[in-house]
Amino acid sequence: IEFFPFNDPGRLPIVPLRNAEGEWVSITLPFPRREVHLRAWEVRAGRVKLYLLDSNHLLNSPADRGITSELYGGGPEIRLQQEMVLGIGGWRLLRELGLRPDICHLNEGHAALAVLDRARSYMEDQGVTFEVALTATRAGNLFTTHTPVEAGFDRFSPGLVAEYLGSYADELGIGLDKLLALGQCPNYGTCGLNGVPGEPGGDPSAEPFNMAYLAIRGSGAVNGVSRLHGEVSRRLFQCLFPRWPQAEVPVGHVTNGVHVPSWDSEEADALWTKLCGKGRWLGGLENLGAAIRQVSDEELWAFRNVNRQKLIAVAREHVSRQGPVAGSLESLGEDPSCLCDPGVLTLGFARRFATYKRVNLLLHDPDRLERLLCGSDARVQLILAGKAHPADTAGKAMIKQWTNFVGRCLVRPHIIFLVDYDMGVAEDLVHGVDVWINTPRRPWEASGTSGMKVLVNGGLNLSELDGWWAEAYDPEVGWAIGDGLEHNSDPAWDAAEAEQLYELLENEIIPEFYDRDEQGIPRRWINRVRESMARLTPQFSTNRMMQDYLDRYYLPGAAAYRERTAAPEAGSPPTGVAADLELWRAQLNEH
């Protein structure tokens, strides 16, 4: 059941963005037969200022006031309107504030129109053509794609683009056809509907305008969000580089990371502080692994037990508040203390319920899962949470399948489904679970970050060899399912991986957790926990991620942008964009 609460700006930690005269800063965008006014808000996120654009302006029509009211709402038209607000409006707000960034980092194609307005600004400042302006500013744009399937990119019909951006194309001096070409495959009519040789060709005049294509053509660098996703993206974008070998398509990668201090428990924070120092996440990561390896088995086991106990307590309290949803407490005598056991191996996951994530792979054989949870020798329990997209009926059906399973009398005490999944619920889960399960269909998980959040807290991962886990997995730090290959939506392969999942739980994970010495400590398990914390926590943190972006893209991109936009000295040979254009013209004449 979806619920969209009204956000009263007066009750949120935001303030109107005001100029030097105290006036509320606003931006005006040309829309068909009207103008849309956008007011700006400011959020202080630590030392960073975050600006938000809001179409709920008194000068707008009721329909236009709703452009920014809801994410993913409406059809293609509202989506294009939102992307005009974000891309064109966002860049114009920066100009209004006097900000001139060297690097403009586009996160997915939603803001791709910013590359056009950045070029337009350069045209106005330097009095050059759009061709020169785009070439000059391209070096300062970085496009990060998060989409592992071609259908995931934002695409709009040529007619819709003509309606909303036709006059804008004339303003750029390129006309509608050239604007559309920036978002289309050059060989659409001959190389196939998806740019794949051998497939039936499409009508070039009907090809949709792909925002990812626009972002690529307007950016100096492109990257995916994991090593595997970089490979997948090179295949997806080969249409734009028809003569290039796939391995050489210019798409790199920076694997995602998580902001560790946001996801560690109090106990984890104390442990890492004791062993690694207070400022461990503010500087380099070089010595963190060696430091955490110094923790004793006894201390690490006690730490894990406390985290698990706190999770069970929080989950029980949550169930007592959620009432009849996701299973009532009637069969337990209304006593939530019967739910789960703080001393039992606890599996968990929390994510958006979507078919490609295969959240129900554990339910492939519900009777076997019931025996695993409720058998006479059962020693495992499960805590899960998640939501489906409002329009995803298949995802909602998966939730229903889980809640029906939770309702079985025998199962009820050993499994908890936490409703109203949000970041607070996720935080409780990643603090306490022993094993985090992730079962996407490879290669549809571009990166995934949920499993990264358990690392700092001593949780282990059992995951498909997809996304970040494809490069993180090692038998010493967790478990993997799959064979590292792609099998599309083959039901037989889903069944095989479900079997592999059950086998790992029954024959490796559960026995290792309960393989205790005379002191009651599972030494092999703790060694695995320690190695996972030491090796993976620093590697899959935002510290490492931001350093990668800085070294691979921000610094080289900023240097290239400054070189291309620097004014040449009188009489000096052409450099930067001018040199590039001369070289390209010579190559065109040669061919």
User: Quick one: pLDDT at residue 590?
Assistant: 53
> Phi-psi category of 478—alpha, beta or left, where left has phi over 0 and alpha has psi -120 to 50?
left
Q: Are 265 and 244 in contact (CB under 8 A)?
A: no
User: How many angstroms from the chain centroid is the CA of residue 357?
Assistant: 14
User: Quick one: pLDDT at residue 412?
Assistant: 85
> Phi-psi category of 156—alpha, beta or left, where left has phi over 0 and alpha has psi -120 to 50?
beta
Is the predicted pLDDT of residue 575 greater than 60, yes or no?
no
Q: Are 407 and 401 in contact (CB under 8 A)?
A: no
Is the predicted pLDDT of residue 303 greater than 60, yes or no?
yes
User: Quick one: pLDDT at residue 281?
Assistant: 79
User: Quick one: pLDDT at residue 200?
Assistant: 41
Q: Are 311 and 428 in contact (CB under 8 A)?
A: yes
Is the predicted pLDDT of residue 587 greater than 70, yes or no?
no
- Cα separation of 386 and 548, whole Å? 31
Is the predicted pLDDT of residue 195 greater than 50, yes or no?
no
Is the predicted pLDDT of residue 228 greater than 60, yes or no?
yes
| Surface-to-core class of residue 323, CB atoms within 10 Å of its CB (0-12 exposed, 13-18 middle, 19+ buried) | exposed
- Cα separation of 131 and 203, whole Å? 26
- Cα separation of 464 and 342, whole Å? 27
- Cα separation of 213 and 452, whole Å? 30
User: Quick one: pLDDT at residue 331?
Assistant: 47
- Cα separation of 376 and 553, whole Å? 56
Query: Which DSSP category does 373 fall into?
Result: H
Q: Are 265 and 307 in contact (CB under 8 A)?
A: yes
Provide the greatest CA pair distance for the chain.
89
Q: What residue type is assigned to position 383 of the chain?
A: I
Q: What residue type is assigned to position 446 of the chain?
A: A
Q: What are the DSSP E strand ranges found in 258-357? A: 345-352
- Cα separation of 22 and 102, whole Å? 28
Q: How large is the average pLDDT for residues 139-155?
A: 94
User: Using DSSP, how many helices (H) and how many strands (E) does the chain show?
Assistant: 24, 16
Is the predicted pLDDT of residue 579 greater than 80, yes or no?
no
Nearest of 185, 167, 183 to residue 175 by alpha carbon: 167
Residue 479: phi and psi, rounded to 5, are -130, 155
Would strands 34-45 and 48-54 be described as parallel, antiparallel, or unpaired?
A: antiparallel
Lowest-confidence pick of 15-29, 103-117, 251-265, 406-420: 406-420
Entry pTM = 0.90
Q: How large is the average pLDDT for residues 99-107?
A: 96
Is the predicted pLDDT of residue 509 greater than 50, yes or no?
yes
pLDDT tens digits, 155-180: 999 999 999 999 999 999 999 999 99
Is the predicted pLDDT of residue 61 greater than 50, yes or no?
yes
pLDDT tens digits, 310-347: 999 999 999 888 765 555 445 455 567 788 999 999 99
Nearest of 232, 209, 87 to residue 146 by alpha carbon: 232
Would strands 221-224 and 141-144 be described as parallel, antiparallel, or unpaired?
A: parallel
User: Quick one: pLDDT at residue 110?
Assistant: 95
- Cα separation of 55 and 28, whole Å? 10
Q: How large is the average pLDDT for residues 447-457?
A: 97
Per-residue confidence at 191, pLDDT binned at 50, 70, 90? very low
Q: Are 202 and 178 in contact (CB under 8 A)?
A: no
Distances in whole angstroms, Cα of residue 220 to Cα of each of 144, 245, 259, 290: 11, 19, 27, 38
User: Quick one: pLDDT at residue 197?
Assistant: 36
- Cα separation of 575 and 572, whole Å? 8
Beta bridge partners of 258: 541
Is the predicted pLDDT of residue 521 greater than 60, yes or no?
yes
Q: Are 11 and 26 in contact (CB under 8 A)?
A: no
Nearest of 285, 289, 120, 144 to residue 219 by alpha carbon: 144
Q: How large is the average pLDDT for residues 380-398?
A: 93
Q: Are 39 and 24 in contact (CB under 8 A)?
A: yes
| Surface-to-core class of residue 151, CB atoms within 10 Å of its CB (0-12 exposed, 13-18 middle, 19+ buried) | exposed
| Surface-to-core class of residue 394, CB atoms within 10 Å of its CB (0-12 exposed, 13-18 middle, 19+ buried) | exposed
Helix (H), strand (E), coil (C) string for 264-328: CCHHHHHHHHHHHCCCCCCCCCCCHHHHHCCCCHHHHHHHHHHHHHHHHHHHHHHHHHHCCCCCC
Angle formed at CA 363 by CA 361 and CA 369, multiple of 5 degrees: 120
- Cα separation of 478 and 418, whole Å? 25
Number of Cβ atoms within 10 Å of the Cβ of 287: 13
Q: What integer best gives the mean pLDDT of the chain?
A: 90
- Cα separation of 356 and 388, whole Å? 12
Q: Are 224 and 253 in contact (CB under 8 A)?
A: yes
Residue 342 structure tokens: 């703080």
User: Quick one: pLDDT at residue 427?
Assistant: 95
Number of Cβ atoms within 10 Å of the Cβ of 365: 15
User: Quick one: pLDDT at residue 581?
Assistant: 55
Residue that the structure tokens 């970089």 belong to: 230
Nearest of 46, 68, 45, 44 to residue 56 by alpha carbon: 68
Beta bridge partners of 417: 384
pLDDT tens digits, 419-448: 989 999 999 999 999 999 999 999 999 999
Q: Which residues contact 355 (CB under 8 A, 6 or more apart)?
A: 394, 395, 398
User: Quick one: pLDDT at residue 273?
Assistant: 93
Q: How large is the average pLDDT for residues 63-72?
A: 90
The count of residues in the chain is 591
Residue 5 structure tokens: 């609460």
